[in-house]
Amino acid sequence: MNTRVLGADLEVSAIGLGCMGFSHAYGAPTEKSEAIRSIRAAYDMGYTLFDTAETYGTAADPHENEKLVGEALKDIRDHVQIVTKFGTRFDETSTAVNKPLIPDSRPETIRASVEGSLRRLGTDHIDLYFQHRMDPGVEPETVAQVMADLIREGKITHWGVSEANGDYLRRAHAVCPVTAVQNRYSMMARWHEALFPVLEELNVGFVAFSPMANGLLTGAYGEGARFDAKLDYRSAMPQFTPEAVEQNRALLALLRDLAERKHATPAQISLAWMLCKKPYIVPIPGSRKVERMRENSGAAEVVLSREEVETIDKTLDATPMSAVFGGTQTLPR
């Protein structure tokens, strides 16, 4: 697979693997040995960027995903880039399938988090350490100073902010250069495009999560799709409601038409669109199926010209579509 550079010098595969779904949010967890085989298969295909977080787990083991990723990559550690995150915990009093997040980026919390992540991942450093959500109770300069200290200590090599805005990014970057933001981005969720000029000014990369609108843009989930109301976040997402099937018919038809013209699949077009839009965008689709990982990796070979990308953007602007999941609710600490 081709590579891209995030920030000043973090070289990664053009497409990364979001590992959350093996343990969290997309139904029952994948059996451990199968998950490890799938992650290694992704590496064999050319994926080198693997994304997890300290909160991706189960009720029985809230940190399961980091342990899984660490075990899967332990003997190829020097050939991959591990991404994990700090700064949130779930509101365990909630009965919702998608429990609200409570941000906590106090320096002492970050210190405890990084030690826990290093231990669970079985590594001596984290390649890209994201603040999972901005904490209104902690100034960005304070967080950035902790990141600078962790870099100096060798515990992390690069850092970033997830769901960042321009003001926060500028303030944090002034203290310790930010390598990337990790924000929701897809053909249905384009509100962070307003951040692109700031990223280009500061030389900050963009890691796109949910690049296929939680799977909708693959075209695999049509009328009658059902999700586990206790374990699968998609059961509560607006793009998967019965009425959304009709609302998104034109969007999915557009993707199928583009895919046919480019001898690709709708999923590959969804990814190629953002890859060809900006050289600093790295999508991290999450899949548990090896065949889907292989399909996604093929998106790096689909070429869309600047004119084709601009035409797609204009068509998307005029295409009716349903509401799309915009993120987990965040509560005050």
For residue 225, pLDDT beyond 90: no
Reduced to 3 states, what is the DSSP secondary structure of residue 256?
Answer: helix
pLDDT of residue 109: 98
Rounded to the nearest integer, the mean pLDDT of the chain is: 96
**What is the value of pTM for the model shown?**
0.97
| CB neighbour list of residue 162: distance below 8 Å, 6 or more residues apart | 85, 130, 131, 132, 133, 181, 182, 183, 209
pLDDT of residue 251: 97
pLDDT of residue 87: 97
For residue 33, pLDDT beyond 90: yes
Look up tokens 């809230």; give the residue.
Answer: 62
List active site positions: 56
Look up tokens 């009425």; give the residue.
Answer: 243
